[in-house]
Amino acid sequence: MTSRGKRAIFAGAVGNAVDWLDWAIYTTFAVVFSPLFFPPGESGPALLFSLAVFAVGFVMRPVGAILFGAYADRHGRKRGLVLTIVLMATSSLVIGLTPTYENIGVLAPIVLVCCRLLQGLAAGGEFGSSAAYLVESAAPRRRAFAGSWQQVSVGAGLLLAAGMGATVTSLLPEAAVSAWGWRLAFIVAALCGFAALWVRSAAQESESFESAIQTADKVDRSARRHPVLSMFREHPRAAMRVFAINIGGTLLYYIWLTYLPVYINVTTDMPLSEALRANVITIAVFIALLPIAGLLSDRFGRKPTMLTFAVGFVLYSWPAFHFLNGEFFNFLLIECIGAVLLLGYCANAATIMSEQFPAAVRASGIGVPYALSVTLFGGTAPYILTWLNSHEFSGFIWVYCAVAAAIGACVYFTMPETKGKALD
């Protein structure tokens, strides 16, 4: 891989990590700040309200994918990525500074919802642009390895969020965490976003995009003017495949790596600080193994590694939730096993989606179907799990996970192998 390609991957990954830190810090502290933004009452309904706001943020992801994906296909991946990080960081800063319901009444949840909608807009544009940018910057035989860094950076963002949560809840008294500790985490996350903006601003555009611009014929130029419409009109099967690829993967990803610490804190006597420490260790293991999983995909193919993930979760979902209790090492082991299985999906997702489309519509082709899938299945997962548990349907949670994994297995088994396919 050239030095330019390495610098591009670094710039894309660093900015992506900070973007997802800003996104994930909400879930990490939802159980803490939820009573402050909604009418006084029991903590259970307040948590459900805050998780509903979490899901609402996902509604804007398809819109963000359309707007920012089209912008990145027309004007370049770099410009699109600069805009997304500005929007994400600014929204986090506003959340961290917003007064509580006690101080400003109904304006507090309104501001929270508006900021989460803007973050959803940014997240929707981030994924497609960053995935295209990383894969287009890679050597042909190392595309899955390069694409895995998209998820390495997402995992790094989650790790930073979990690390902030563990640090704040461990070092500060509970009253201080509720009063201002959670705000400090949001403000620090926002400042990290503005620092990453400088890194992205100095990055170069991907060579693949520049080459596509220079050699574009009349058809490519027409597609680039209306990339979303062209993607659905010219590549409908690829768009449907991208949507289906992410059903099981995104649902299980959000359950295992972002919501499980909150779930075990609510359902057992395990302190949130211990659950977050286990989550930090799990995500660190996950990040360390992702590039290796990418190399395995480059060596053996996309389908075998994706099927390992899906079939593994079909078999693992029941024992994972059946044996889950409030003990630290039990939770750590169960979460780590799930994270290892997730490698098969996460190391491949960005690359497989990039390999479905030509450069003229690639950011839109990745971003829009992916955002729709994430909105329907990833964004609603924490709320559905909380609802099932609060209505004494916790025994069905493993079924929910296993069915999603089984759908993924069917999709991965029938999709064409794209290892070695030339990028247009």
Are 27 and 156 in contact, with CB atoms under 8 Å apart? no
Total-model pTM: 0.76
Find out whether 203 and 7 touch, Cβ atoms under 8 Å: yes
In order along its 424 residues, the chain shows pLDDT tens digits of: 556 656 677 777 777 788 778 878 887 787 787 778 877 664 556 666 766 776 677 778 888 888 888 888 887 877 888 888 888 889 889 999 999 888 888 888 888 888 888 888 888 888 788 888 888 777 778 888 888 888 888 878 877 887 888 888 888 888 888 888 889 989 998 898 888 888 777 777 766 676 666 665 554 555 566 777 888 888 889 899 999 999 999 899 988 887 888 888 888 888 888 888 898 899 889 999 999 999 999 999 899 999 999 999 999 999 998 888 889 999 999 999 999 999 999 998 888 988 888 877 888 888 888 888 887 887 778 778 778 877 767 778 899 899 999 999 999 999 988 887 777 6
* Three-state secondary structure string covering 286-325: HHHHHHHHHHHHHHHCHHHHHHHHHHHHHHHHHHHHHCCC
d(CA 269, CA 208): 52
Token pair 């287009």 is found at 136
Residue 144 burial (10 A CB sphere; 0-12, 13-18, 19+): buried
Q: Specify the residue for token string 């390999």.
A: 355
Which of 294, 298, 318, 293 has the alpha carbon at shortest distance from 405? 318
pLDDT of 162 reads 77
pLDDT at 170 (0 to 100): 83
Which structure tokens are listed for 30? 């939802």
Q: Give the per-residue pLDDT at 101.
A: 84
Structure tokens of 268?
């057992």
User: Helices in 38-60 by DSSP H: which ranges?
Assistant: 43-59
pLDDT value, residue 15: 76
Place of tokens 């998209």: 150
pLDDT of residue 219: 47
Phi then psi dihedrals of residue 84, to 5 deg: -65, -40
* pLDDT score at 54: 66
